[in-house]
Chains A and B, each alone.
Chain A
Amino acid sequence: MALVQIRDVYKSFQRDSQRIDVFTGLSLDVAEGSFTALMGPSGSGKSTLLNLIAGLDRPTSGTVRVAGADVHAMSAAQLAAWRARHIGFVFQQLNLLPVLTAYQNVELPLLLTRLSKKEREERVRVALGVVGLDDRIHHYPRQLSGGQEQRVAIARAIVADPTLILLDEPTGQLDARSSQEVLTLLQRLNSEFGKTVVIVTHDAHAADKAKAVLHLEKGVLIERAAVGA
């Protein structure tokens, strides 16, 4: 069974007097344990799709189910709790709170759990260890390179052991080497830890790392690779 089921989703925005239709009946499945890349030109709806899956935005009509839950049937408070439990999200930039250390940034999702301080510390150390930054625990974002910042953001995305990891152009601002480090890390999370990963990217090299690639063109899925292959 697919972890993410998108059925007949319509999404439109109103900009001034103009109505912009982003999706007109989009349907899509993402299998559990897959590594999917979403590609397409700017304005094709990649980030909007990611936001719909994460429950950050609501479709005009249609359903988005993640791990069996109808995401948009939930109230705002239920959605917040659901996101804390099921979603790890990484942005292109400005992921980290600049006033917090790497440790404190990664700990943020755990503050919403009932874990004790000691348990939180163990989890944060493990997550930072997975991304290879256990020696940068007390560094502030300004003391880290762009690649290291993204790895901290990924550590934060996995620390609460979410069902799904969503990344919106995580390598968009990185140099080739840092980009490679991040992509290798995502591959590892998928293959070694069985995490379901959906990544939005413009970078063909990044898409190569994925097991499946979806192309969006003006809100329409024009090419579908074998998801979960």
Chain B
Amino acid sequence: MRYLPLVLANLGRHKRRTFLTTASVALALFLFASLRTVVTTIAAGAQFGSARRLVATNATGIVFPLPLAYAGRLRALPGVQAVSWANWFGGRYGDGKRFFATFAVDPASYLDMYPEIVLPADQRDAFLRERSAAIVGRRLLDVFGWHLGQDVTLQGTIFSGDWTFTIRGVYTPSDPVINDDMLIFRHDYLDERMNRAGFAGWYILRIDDPNNAAGIAKLVDDQFRNSSAPTKTGTEQAFNASFATMWGNVSLLMNTIGMAVVFAILLVTANAMMMSARERTGEVAVLKTIGFSDWRLFGLVMLEAGLITLTGAVLGLGGAKLLYRATNFNAAGFLPGFDVDGTTLAVGGAIALLLMLASGLVPAVRAARLPVVQALRHVE
């Protein structure tokens, strides 16, 4: 601690340079935390899903519907306890700049299927009663300043025309991975408007035993193998993971960008540290003459590098953690549950440590090994 004023004074020598170097480290670690959290959030979304839920889609592709008549046959299969269905709507609200997901669902069975979607009882009743009713996530309600009972009109992109819904419920997910940025309305309203009753986007099945998931999935697919709309059935987790793969190899891209940024900042920091050490060659000579040992000077330079990277790490990683939490960020619903996790903070801390070693080592060794007489030439 007795050397801290000396280290702080050295850091204060070029305040702007120290500020910019620290800010570079902070920005690099902020970007690293952000990009890694995109990856972990996508991964968490792909992992989400009850082991007791299966999803059946059209084997040709998810954009092709399945007959609604399948519902009864699915319910009758051994091991299947409940069946529900949903359809991607794809509408846009206002100028469309703020995207959110919109689904048409079979209301009663869907809410029973997903107890994670928590809705007050009176609002649930209202949703089940009224054909044009919709429920929205708390975040979506707050973003647009909507209120219960308000009519909102969406322009259909897949199902054309203006679609007006009355908000009858506001749900809160019990699991942060479930998006609270959605509008959910009734499937029968979609059928009525489109005059195309009898189709579902995909089916969700609750099964009695997760150990039978593979067997039941095969049973479902066998059941419709020779029909005009064969199915592809898998666990809900696999279904969500298939959505995640639509992002392409985002993880690799994000990690590569993150590492490139960190490496670039490493060069900037190392350069700043070396420049700072070079400027002080004469002072190193003075300190050595006073009796500062090589190891002590090595430690002082490393401490400087450590203070810069530590401050940068606290600002960058802490800033990312606090900012995303304070703003409840979820990338307009694409990344529900976006939160910088402990592992990301730990990896960021390790990177800061490496940054300190890599940027401080060369100038520290140089200061320690500098022969006094050679260094004195800078003084004389």
| A residues at B contact (CB < 8 Å) | 47, 51, 54, 56-57, 76-77, 80-85, 87, 89, 91-95, 97-100, 104, 108-109, 111-112, 117, 156, 168
Chain B, 289-303, CB within 8 A of any chain A CB: 289-296
Q: Do residues B6 and A104 form an inter-chain contact, with CB atoms below 8 A?
A: yes
Determine which residue in A76, A87, A94, A99 has the highest number of CB atoms from chain B within 10 A of its CB, and name it: A99
Number of residue pairs A-B, CB distance < 8 angstroms? 82
For A98, the chain B residues whose CB sits under 8 A away are 13
Q: Do residues B373 and A56 form an inter-chain contact, with CB atoms below 8 A?
A: yes
Q: Which residue of B282, B283, B292, B378 contacts A80 across the interface (Cβ within 8 Å)? A: B292
Count of chain B residues with Cβ under 8 Å from any Cβ of A?
Answer: 27
**Closest CB of chain A to B370's CB: distance in Å?**
12
Q: How far is the CA of A111 from the CA of B4 in the complex (A)?
A: 11
Q: How far is the CA of A80 from the CA of B380 in the complex (A)?
A: 21
Q: Do residues B290 and A92 form an inter-chain contact, with CB atoms below 8 A?
A: no
Closest 6 A/B residue pairs (Cβ) = A84-B291, A80-B293, A99-B9, A83-B291, A56-B372, A89-B289
Is B287 interfacial (CB-CB < 8 Å)?
Answer: yes
Is B43 interfacial (CB-CB < 8 Å)?
Answer: no
Interface string of B274-317 (1 = CB under 8 A from A): 00000000110011111111111000000000000000000000
For A83, the chain B residues whose CB sits under 8 A away are 289-291
**Closest CB of chain A to B308's CB: distance in Å?**
16
Q: How far is the CA of A112 from the CA of B293 in the complex (A)?
A: 10
| B residues at A contact (CB < 8 Å) | 2-3, 5-6, 9-10, 12-13, 282-283, 286-296, 372-373, 376, 378-380
Evaluate whether A77 and B287 lie within 8 angstroms (CB atoms) in the complex, with A100-B6, A111-B3 already known: no
For B283, the chain A residues whose CB sits under 8 A away are 97
For A56, the chain B residues whose CB sits under 8 A away are 288-289, 372-373, 376
Q: Do residues A108 and B9 form an inter-chain contact, with CB atoms below 8 A?
A: no
For A104, the chain B residues whose CB sits under 8 A away are 5-6, 9
Q: How far is the CA of A30 from the CA of B12 in the complex (A)?
A: 43
For A92, the chain B residues whose CB sits under 8 A away are 379-380
Q: Do residues A97 and B286 form an inter-chain contact, with CB atoms below 8 A?
A: yes
Determine which residue in A80, A82, A98, A108 has the highest number of CB atoms from chain B within 10 A of its CB, and name it: A80
Q: How far is the CA of A76 from the CA of B291 in the complex (A)?
A: 10
For B282, the chain A residues whose CB sits under 8 A away are 94
**Closest CB of chain A to B291's CB: distance in Å?**
3
Q: How far is the CA of A95 from the CA of B376 in the complex (A)?
A: 11
**Closest CB of chain A to B298's CB: distance in Å?**
12
For B2, the chain A residues whose CB sits under 8 A away are 111, 117
Q: Do residues B293 and A93 form an inter-chain contact, with CB atoms below 8 A?
A: no
Write the chain B residue with the least CB distance to A56.
B372
**Closest CB of chain A to B346's CB: distance in Å?**
35
**Closest CB of chain A to B40's CB: distance in Å?**
43
Q: How far is the CA of A35 from the CA of B182 in the complex (A)?
A: 89
Write the chain A residue with the least CB distance to B297.
A80
Write the chain B residue with the least CB distance to A80.
B293
For A97, the chain B residues whose CB sits under 8 A away are 6, 9, 283, 286
For B10, the chain A residues whose CB sits under 8 A away are 99
Q: Which residue of B13, B287, B288, B289 contacts A99 across the interface (Cβ within 8 Å)? A: B13
Q: Do residues A108 and B380 form an inter-chain contact, with CB atoms below 8 A?
A: no
Q: How far is the CA of A133 from the CA of B292 in the complex (A)?
A: 25
Determine which residue in B13, B282, B286, B379 has the highest number of CB atoms from chain A within 10 A of its CB, and name it: B286
Q: How far is the CA of A98 from the CA of B12 in the complex (A)?
A: 11
Q: Which residue of B288, B291, B372 contacts A81 across the interface (Cβ within 8 Å)? A: B291
Q: Do residues B293 and A95 form an inter-chain contact, with CB atoms below 8 A?
A: no
For B3, the chain A residues whose CB sits under 8 A away are 111
For B9, the chain A residues whose CB sits under 8 A away are 97, 99-100, 104
**Closest CB of chain B to A183's CB: distance in Å?**
20
Q: How far is the CA of A132 from the CA of B293 in the complex (A)?
A: 30
Q: Do residues A91 and B13 form an inter-chain contact, with CB atoms below 8 A?
A: no
Q: Do residues A108 and B295 form an inter-chain contact, with CB atoms below 8 A?
A: no
Q: How far is the CA of A112 from the CA of B292 in the complex (A)?
A: 7
Known pairs A80-B292, A108-B287; list 7 more (Cβ under 8 Å). A56-B289, A80-B288, A83-B291, A91-B376, A100-B9, A109-B290, A112-B292
Sample of 18 A–B contacts (CB below 8 Å) = A57-B372, A76-B293, A77-B293, A83-B289, A83-B290, A84-B290, A84-B291, A91-B379, A92-B379, A93-B380, A99-B10, A99-B13, A100-B5, A100-B6, A109-B291, A112-B290, A112-B292, A168-B380
